[in-house]
Structure 1
Amino acid sequence: MADIPSLKLNTGASIPQVALGTWESAPDDVYDAVKIALDAGYRHIDTAMIYGNEEAVGRALQDSKVPRQEIFLTTKLWCKDFRNPEAALDASLKRLRTDYVDLYLMHWPFATKEENGKDVIDKDVDYVEVYKALAQLPTSKAKAVGISNFTIERVQRVLDSKPAKVPAALQVELHVNLPQQKLVDFCHSHGIVVEAYSPLARGNLDNEVVKKIAKKHNVEPANVVLSWGIARNTVVLPKSVTPARIQSNLKVIKLDREEVEELNKIAKEDGLKRHCNYGNSFDFDTFDGDKDSK
């Protein structure tokens, strides 16, 4: 079994720092991937309604030999469902074949609606009010709640609204080409755990610094960048449906301070690279010019 480090949420619960990400994983593939991951030692699975694979994740969890209480399970509230978060959560729980999730996240900081057969921004819905509704959800259904794809300013707006619960976690795109150190530091100062999706930068692992450190430790470049994320006290969510990769991604190495600093400099030398911005679909500047991304 893998020895996976964990962090404490502001609820007191532990969250494993390595999770299986399932974004863009087809249902048939994700069923096998979740079972393989759990057999390999993963105890954290991340999914979302919009991924279209909650039902397959739920079947895999049910068919595995790992007790539900040993698994940290995350899913997300989609933008079209912002007007009724509890109904959306109930639908996710049914698909996931479980009575609760360990973390329920607001997927993006804007609502959408269908208009003339096309998705558009629903300007009548304020994400702050949506989060406040999430904070009121029964803990029997959502042990913890949080947010995703928020900037510092948007997190601050949520905090200023004095919700019933401070977000337990913020999930954002994080990797060596998008470190978002200001955002990470801000969240940590408020007791908010930061989770990194696309921590492998979508396979962009050819950086010479990454390869040099990987050779030194006799590991894959992926292990270096994932270990860098763990060294920053973030949660990493590598996605894979390949058995060998799923197992390999669990290998965490201890990076020294010099190695961490070398990896920190990659974004400054190579430039920032963001791979995911759903707001672009609506000409919506979700990340406010990426001023917090360095």
Structure 2
Amino acid sequence: MKKLIGIFLTGILALGLTACGNSSSAMQNSAESQTEKGKIAPVEIPEQETGQPENGYAQAEADSEGNKTLIAYFSRSGNTKRLAEIIQEQVGGDLFEIKTSAPYPEDYDSILDQARQEQRDNARPELTLPVENMEDYQTIFIGYPIWWGNTPMAVLTFLESYDFTDKTVVPFCTYGSSGAGSSFQSVSDAVPGAVMFDGFSISGSQAEESQNDVQSWLDNLETPDSFNLETKTVRLNSGYDMPIVGLGTYSLSDEECYQSVLVLLENGGRLIDTAYMYHNEAAVGRAVRDSGIPREEIFVTTKIYPTQFDDPRQAIEEALVKLDIEYIDLMLLHHPGTGDVEAYKVMEQYVADGKIKSIGLSNWYIEELEEFLPQISITPAVVQNEIHPYYQETDVIPYIQKLGIVVESWYPLGGRGHTKELLTNEVISSIADAHGVSSAQVILRWDIQNGVIVMPGSSNPEHIKENLDIFGFELTDDEMEQIKVLNRDEKHDWY
């Protein structure tokens, strides 16, 4: 698992020890920074008796690889400020306070009224000072209090004022009684192209003494695309957790599909993949409803086919009606086609409305992604491609994962007509014998250890159960390498 501490904390913790008590501020100036929805207004920087700008030119700290860390925060009562200070004490870096040009009211109820109005208006309050040389910061902690159940709009002004592409963004917040709400998702949406890490939230009344809680969070902080083998999930860049093993329903008839989904759910599986072109969305939805398992514990993926791109809104509504499960956890464009960008933008609107939780792509490769991604607002949470030991996508998978997008495999066992050849491969069979498992389990475990979600298709109850049981053993580095050399770049479908 990729831990945040392994990326940047190791180097800057040492710096933080030497910097305790020496709070450094992010470099600031009065230059105007203009964005489409909000702006940072120029103001005069107050001078000290020496005539130098107050906290104007603090030396930024960097880790051993030269990566600089910024802890930016917006605070009303001081709770979020204190939390930011505790984070700085533990990781080092520079503090920067986000301030609005027009101060908010002192009265708490008045603030909430204003916050609610700003959310209704989708306002972007004007800010005072910008961060100088923001491009030099690689890791940005962003803190705020929860206002009216979400991120203060001033924080969105700040986030939209800079390019966070390829930067690491880590949200943290204080709250009264509502928890973090959807604020982490709001932050993620405001920084397309950034790598998002798990956020931290705590009651404002506990912020002052939160050192241990913050340290525990930092110690266990993971990138969204890190697999958690205990919960058997991965945190998507959308902020939602997705199971890493599931069931593909391609070619399953209604009754086969219904029974297979029930078997999956009865045996602990929670990920189901369907599509418009599979003609079994209604069967999937019926099984989910009949399972007796809380809806929020189940993750359902469906897809829009290119023939639907001319009217994506109708396609989405049709999927919602057929599934009849309140919302769609993940919706993908099935593969590239005319009108795919416009169709994706409609999916983005449904994310904003809460009817779709996460969106992504299927059968997109490097060239297609390079053309597609600059035209959209929400970074895909998942890219689903054909991946198996004979077609390993050794260039594509790292490219996608570097973007903070989770990779998912369809045809993980080679696909119909090719499965037998793969399962009887001598190398894979030998590894299976060594672990006392099946060849299918070895292949699925190989995918998981490569950071790839798997959704093998089957209507056989025993196979469905077996495919879920891949967490009781681990492949060695040598075994992973043995499977790696089996690659033939042999694609088994036309996508």
5 Å-filtered alignment, 1:1-294, equals: 5-110=232-337, 125-139=338-352, 140-161=354-375, 163-202=376-415, 203=419, 204-252=422-470, 253-267=473-487, 271-278=488-495
Give the SS at the match of 1:75: strand
TM-score normalised to structure 1 length? 0.85
The residue number in structure 2 matching 1:116 is: none
TM-score normalised to structure 2 length? 0.51
Q: Structure 2: any 5+ residue segments left out of the alignment?
A: 1-228
Encode CA deviations 1:91-123: one digit per residue, 9 max, x unaligned: 11111111211100000101xxxxxxxxxxxxx
Query: How many Å apart are 1:4 and its aligned residue?
Result: 5.7
Which protein has greater RCO, CA pairs closer than 8 Å, 6+ apart? Answer: 1
CA distance in 1, matches of 2:452, 2:446: 9
Query: How many Å apart are 1:86 and its aligned residue?
Result: 2.1
Q: Which amino acid aligns with 1:207?
A: N
Encode CA deviations 1:38-63: one digit per residue, 9 max, x unaligned: 00000111100110111111111111
8 A Cα contact 1:103 1:142, kept in partner? yes
Report how many residues are paired: 259
Encode CA deviations 1:234-285: one digit per residue, 9 max, x unaligned: 1001000000000000111311111111111101xxx23212115xxxxxxx
The residue number in structure 2 matching 1:114 is: none
Q: Percent identity?
A: 37
8 A Cα contact 2:309 2:339, kept in partner? no
Query: How many Å apart are 1:137 and its aligned residue?
Result: 2.2
Encode CA deviations 1:15-60: one digit per residue, 9 max, x unaligned: 1110111011111101000001000000111100110111111111
Q: Which structure has the larger Rg?
A: 2
Report the RMSD for the aligned CA atoms in angstroms: 1.4
Give the SS at the match of 1:57: helix
Encode CA deviations 1:153-207: one digit per residue, 9 max, x unaligned: 111112222x220011100100000110211101111011110000011213111
Encode CA deviations 1:63-92: one digit per residue, 9 max, x unaligned: 101111100110000111102222211111
CA distance in 1, matches of 2:268, 2:275: 22
8 A Cα contact 2:252 2:459, kept in partner? yes
CA distance in 1, matches of 2:486, 2:311: 42
Query: How many Å apart are 1:5 and its aligned residue?
Result: 1.8
